[in-house]
Chains A and B, each alone.
Chain A
Amino acid sequence: MSKQINVALIGNPNTGKTSVFNQLTGLNQKVGNYPGITVEKKEGICKLPRGVKAHILDLPGTYSLNTTSLDESVAVELLLNKKDKDHPDVALVISDVENLKRNLLLFTQIKDLKIPAILVINMADRMSRTGISVDIEQLEERLDTKIALVSTRKETGIERLKELIADYKNLSSKPNVDTTVIAPEYFERLQNTFPNEDLYKLWLVITQDVNFMPIEKTLIKDSTSFATKSKSELKRLQQKETIVRYQFINGILKETYKVDANAAKGFRATLDKVLTHKVFGYLIFFFILLTIFQAIYEWSSYPQDLIEGFFASAGEWVKNTLPSGAFTDLIAEGIIAGISGIALFIPQIAFLFLFISLLEESGYMSRVVFLMDRLMRPFGLSGKSVVPLISGTACAIPAVMATRTIENWKERLITILVTPFTTCSARLPVYLIIISLVIPEGRFIGLSYQALTLMLLYLIGFGAAILSAMVLNKILKIKSRSFFVVEMPNYKLPLFKNVAITVWEKTKSFVFGAGKIILAISIILWFLGSNGFADDFKNAESIVKKRIETNGFSEFNKASIETDLINYNKSLQDSIWKKVYVLDASAIADSIQTKKAILEELAQNQEIASHKLENSYMGYAGKAIEPVVKPLGYDWKIGIAVLTSFAAREVFVGTLATIYSVGGGEDNTETITQRMAAEVNPRTKEPLFNLASGISLLLFYAFAMQCVSTLAVVKRETNSWKWPVAQLVFMSVFAYIVALIAYQILK
């Protein structure tokens, strides 16, 4: 078998490079990271004619080999380093027929590196509409290369491209432009000092702004003596080089590239006029945001319900099918519950990335950046921070992933760090239950106090994000050259295949990346909650049974059994009255007796579960942290709920349901609310959930970093534990202090 051909895709952003990659590889691709950095690495396999296989690497988009970002330097590094295992045998330079001139700049640079290069001219389908004609044969000759004219939209030209790749050995690897003309003496000296090195490579190494990592370190060290020219002088040389290249390109294109000036250009101009308009632009953006918000918030609740239901019944099924024991419990309550916790986020993530990729593919996203940049700048954020911040109101996980579009590392880091302050949907159930407990029902100019409180909490979340961004902007000493050049690409109809692949890849990387950690934490939580040291835990059943025999059920359960039975009796009498069915007195008594037995068994099971939890490791932990949470107005039970919420906030309600052992499981919020309202502080004899402790809880949840999944994603995106740990500590300490102050003032 012949060896695989290494192919690198390189090209300007917005040329459809990813579309070409998708066409070549299909779903035969995998997305990872370059070792040690957060730059995304996309690679795939493509079958070529005559049984040859190609390994295709999709390099980050770049305008030239003069790098300005980490992404771009990855591309250059690979092209310079012959020893890299991915060093390409052949480079495909992807260009867009409408911006051919600019794309050719990069092409001439690649040719100067003496790497065989094929020029791929994409978007051929737009030629007739934009009145462009290209003399391919002559262009091939002048550029000393082979050209593939493709349309990824119409899926044409791909076969010829594959042929060309397979024949890469026939390609010329001679440079196009002699750049030494810009400073002949300088280059001569350089060549004399390093007779074995390639001049253009030397030049690249000398002029780079970005500090290259491992490439030929010795080369850099020795060549620094040639950087003696002042920085601005080097810049001027680079400028000259660019001009020389453009002169060459202009000369060629004059003969081979014709644009009919009469062809319609109005579409773009008209759309731009509306979408970047001072008033309409913002209105349109606002409506798009509303739609996204609605989708993530509302539409995804349907698949989420299905997922929840599916895993709940899967857990039940396992419990009923497998022999009961610790192993079955681990599967049903640890693993299945954990996987369910991961799967639950899938609809939200998929929806968010569906919208983001539609907005990006269509070219609209650049317009949002344009509209918002100035408004975000005072806070150390950029126009590109808007989308993550907004999507954070649904879920911080996809929001953090969406920051990848921000090139400036400092702006991106600040965005990642402050996004978890925005009120995500997992906080909502906590807010709702506490608000209904402690905020009175009155109205203020037609608005209910409860709704106002909820709105206030959303505003507090945004405020905290913006203000901490401002603070971080001041204290973070990160040098990243802050310039802002955003291309405003032409509007395009998004390609279904690209959108589908993006959604699939992002969702997959969440499930397997963050998912692992969520699963691990769920299993740990399950273990801590279902195991205990002492006999108190092991003999929970007999202890509770004995207690019920001697003292009866807890006050709450007693009362609830009583009301349930009265209601049951009523409905029974009602049915008899309506002649739904006929029963004699003894049958009625029997039926009530049966109902009572069922209710009592339920109550007993709940009290056992409650007793177990109280004496589990988790219960001990709750009691251990009680001194810490007492100043905030919480008891050990709330303490446990807060503690488990560090895995995920939505666990709060479920944990309280287990602790207070109320019927109907987690879904029965009404009963939980009643039960919580009845809870009394043993010292003060006042309700445990009062205005002071309630507000304190609300504020704690508003600020604390209680989401393992987000931490996991932040770790992945920043590639270090430093930032997620800082986030966890800072946000949680801040939350504690605010909650403390609130409680101490209000109590």
Chain B
Amino acid sequence: MGITVADLRRGQKGIIKEFADDLLPIKLLELGCLPGNQIELVQVAPLKDPIYINVNGSHIAIRRSTALQIELEMIEDNHVL
């Protein structure tokens, strides 16, 4: 398994590659969490759960178990765009 949203550190970004689980809540997709879109990690709560992300302009918090399903291509440099 590659890198997932759960591996990001604060301020790091990545491009969504694919989902490990087909049963990811459709709500997440509708909020813009779709392959090809960019995810930025905003904040992580204590015990690394939940995780607060900015995806495609939507600011949402998801549980760690969900974050582990979203596979990423890391954007190495923080100064992209």
Contacts and interface: CB of A to CB of B under 8 A. Distances in A.
Contact of A102 (B30, B50, B66): B30
A236 B59 CA distance: 24
A366 interface: yes
Given A99-B57, A370-B45, A484-B50, A66 B63 contact: no
Interface string B45-80: 111011010001111111100100000000000000
Nearest to A209: B26
A240 to B, nearest CB: 10
A488 B25 contact: no
Nearest to A69: B27
A373 B22 contact: no
Given A272-B43, A373-B45, A483-B66, A488 B60 contact: yes
Contacts of A276: 43, 45, 52
A373 B31 contact: no
B30 A105 contact: yes
Contacts of A101: 32, 56-57
Interface string B1-45: 000000000000000000000110111111110110000001101
Contacts of A63: 27, 30-31
Nearest to B64: A374
Nearest to B25: A483
Contacts of B62: 484-486
A209 to B, nearest CB: 8
Contact of A242 (B22, B34, B49): B34
Given A63-B27, A66-B26, A243-B34, A102 B57 contact: yes
B70 to A, nearest CB: 12
Contacts of B34: 239, 242-243, 246
Contacts of B43: 272-273, 276, 370
Given A102-B31, A246-B34, A374-B50, A235 B59 contact: no
B61 A102 contact: no
Given A243-B34, A371-B45, A374-B49, A484 B63 contact: yes
Contact of A489 (B28, B30, B59): B59
Contacts, number: 110
Contact of A68 (B23, B27, B42): B27
Contact of B66 (A231, A273, A484, A487): A484
Contacts of B59: 487-490
Among B22, B29, B49, B57, max chain A CB count under 10 A is at B29
A451 interface: no
Given A278-B46, A374-B50, A242 B63 contact: no
Contact of A487 (B35, B47, B60): B60
A276 B51 CA distance: 11
Nearest to A276: B43
Interface range for B: 20 to 34
A66 B24 CA distance: 13
A481 B18 CA distance: 22
A64 B61 contact: no
A272 B54 CA distance: 12
Interface string A220-261: 000000000001100110110011001000000000000000
Given A99-B57, A373-B50, A484-B50, A238 B26 contact: yes
B2 to A, nearest CB: 19
A273 B44 CA distance: 11
A367 to B, nearest CB: 9
Contact of B26 (A102, A235, A269, A383): A235
Contact of B61 (A68, A239, A243, A369): A369
The binding surface of chain A is classed by DSSP as: helix
Interface string A63-84: 1101010000000000000000
A486 B61 contact: yes
Given A63-B31, A66-B26, A239-B29, A102 B45 contact: no
Contacts of A66: 26-27, 30
Nearest to A363: B59
A248 to B, nearest CB: 13
Among B35, B52, B63, max chain A CB count under 10 A is at B63
A366 B61 contact: yes
A644 to B, nearest CB: 46
Contacts of B60: 485-488
B42 to A, nearest CB: 6
B50 A99 contact: no
Contacts of A272: 42-43, 52
A384 B61 CA distance: 13
Among A269, A272, A374, A481, max chain B CB count under 10 A is at A374
Contacts of B28: 485
Contacts of A209: 26
A613 to B, nearest CB: 56
Interface in A556-575: none
Contacts of B30: 63-64, 66, 102, 105, 242
Interface in A260-297: 269, 272-273, 276, 278
A488 B58 CA distance: 8
Nearest to A63: B30
Contacts of B35: 243
B31 A487 contact: yes
Given A232-B22, A242-B34, A485 B46 contact: no
Interface string A456-487: 00000000000000000000000001011111
A235 B58 contact: no
B45 A374 contact: yes
B58 A374 contact: no
Given A235-B22, A273-B43, 4 more contacts: A101-B32, A102-B30, A486-B61, A487-B61
20 contacts: A68-B25, A68-B27, A239-B34, A242-B26, A243-B34, A278-B46, A373-B49, A373-B61, A375-B47, A483-B25, A483-B63, A484-B50, A484-B61, A485-B60, A485-B62, A485-B66, A488-B42, A488-B61, A489-B59, A490-B59
Closest A-B pairs by Cβ, 4 of them: A232-B22, A488-B59, A483-B25, A374-B49
